[in-house]
Amino acid sequence: MTILHTPQEVREALKGHSNIGFVPTMGALHQGHLSLIQKARAQNDIVVVSIFVNPTQFLEGEDFDKYPKKLEADIKICKVANVDYIFVPNISDMYTTLDEVLIKAPKVKGYILEGHFRPGHFDGVLQIVLKLFNIVKPQRAYFGKKDAQQLYLIKQMVKDLFLDIEIVACDIVRDKNGLALSSRNSYLSAQEIQQALSISKALKLALQLSTTIKDVNKIKEEMLKVLQIDVQYIAFVDEEFNPLDTVQHKTTVLIAGYVGTTRLIDNMTIN
Ligand code: AMP
């Protein structure tokens, strides 16, 4: 496994390869990331993992400065998972000018739900993902369903900008109690973990109720009774991320909110 630091190093290392699987991450790797890496390993000759805490997707006052950093441990995880290359750039390698060409997330789908509470977040996500795609030039890129709106928007970017990359969606990995794994879970106290567990409980409840109740507002009411977090939104969306009032086939139920000062998101899909 080789650690690469600059876009030029990546280009040189990957020259001539045409079966590259790419897993972009912000590091502090856990089993969720590992599941993406394993899928990439199974489907490609070369696996590239990037570790970059991207400043442009954090809003003023968010946790950019304190975002968990565990590079040593991340390197070990990648080595064990048989990753070929880790790309760990500096901010100045990825952003070379202050006045650069920008990518805008779509005005509607990029500014509802996560985009409503984190306006501009997806502009930054799409900007960095496009840069990384252009550096690594993967045939396939792996993203978790945990960040469902991000996954949707990346698929849309690939389509809208005619990128020749297959986006592979990977299932959410949870701990044995149902908590969706997240690098941000390391911020939680033991008591907050208990409160955070109410998120997956509320989602499971929504899935159960949806077999008999189709009215989204009625299901939301029941979810709010079990949620022990400071809810920002509960939303039901179709596969195109259109908000729904009535449950239909393949509806995704999303929750976002705060447990103490930690913001968590999760979702489940009704099949
Ligand atoms: P992050 O490092 O949080 O930016 O995440 C990098 C990638 O891992 C994204 O595509 C996430 O959706 C994915 N991911 C994060 N947590 C999980 C999880 N619990 N299960 C599956 N994928 C995940």
C-beta 121 within 6 A of ligand 1: no
Average pLDDT over residues 243-271: 97
- Segment 146-170 shows an average pLDDT of 98
CA of 224 to the centre of ligand 1 (A): 26
Pick the CATH number of 2-170 from 3.90.340.10, 3.40.50.2300, 3.40.50.620, 3.40.50.300: 3.40.50.620
Is the Cβ atom of 146 under 6 angstroms away from ligand 1?
Answer: yes
pLDDT at 21 over 90: yes
Q: Is the CB of 182 under 6 A from ligand 1?
A: yes
Confirm whether 249 is a catalytic residue: no
pLDDT, position 267: 98
* CA angle, residues 68, 40, 175, in degrees to nearest 5: 50
∠ CA 160-124-89, rounded to 5°: 110
Of the options 3.40.50.2030, 2.40.128.110, 3.30.1300.10, 3.40.50.300, the CATH number for the domain spanning 183-264: 3.30.1300.10
Q: Which atom of ligand 1 is nearest to the CA of 29?
A: 2
The string of pLDDT tens digits covering residues 195-240 is 999 999 999 999 999 999 999 999 999 999 999 999 999 999 999 9
What is the pLDDT at residue 184?
96
Would the CB of 83 count as within 6 Å of ligand 1?
no
> Does residue 172's CB lie within 6 angstroms of at least one atom of ligand 1?
yes
Which single residue is written with the structure tokens 């930690």? 262
- Using pLDDT thresholds of 50, 70 and 90, give the confidence band for residue 168: very high
The amino acid present at 11, given as its one-letter code, is: R
Domain positions in the chain are 2-170, 183-264
| Residue 146 alpha carbon to ligand 1 centre in Å | 6
Give residue 241's pLDDT band: very low, low, confident or very high (50, 70, 90): very high
**pLDDT band (50, 70, 90) for residue 271:** confident
How high is the pLDDT of residue 171?
98
Active-site choice (33, 116, 121, 249): 33
- Mean predicted confidence (pLDDT) in 143-150: 98
pLDDT at 261: 97
pLDDT in tens, 100-134: 999 999 999 999 999 999 999 999 999 999 999 99
Do residues 26 and 132 make contact, with C-beta atoms less than 8 angstroms apart? no
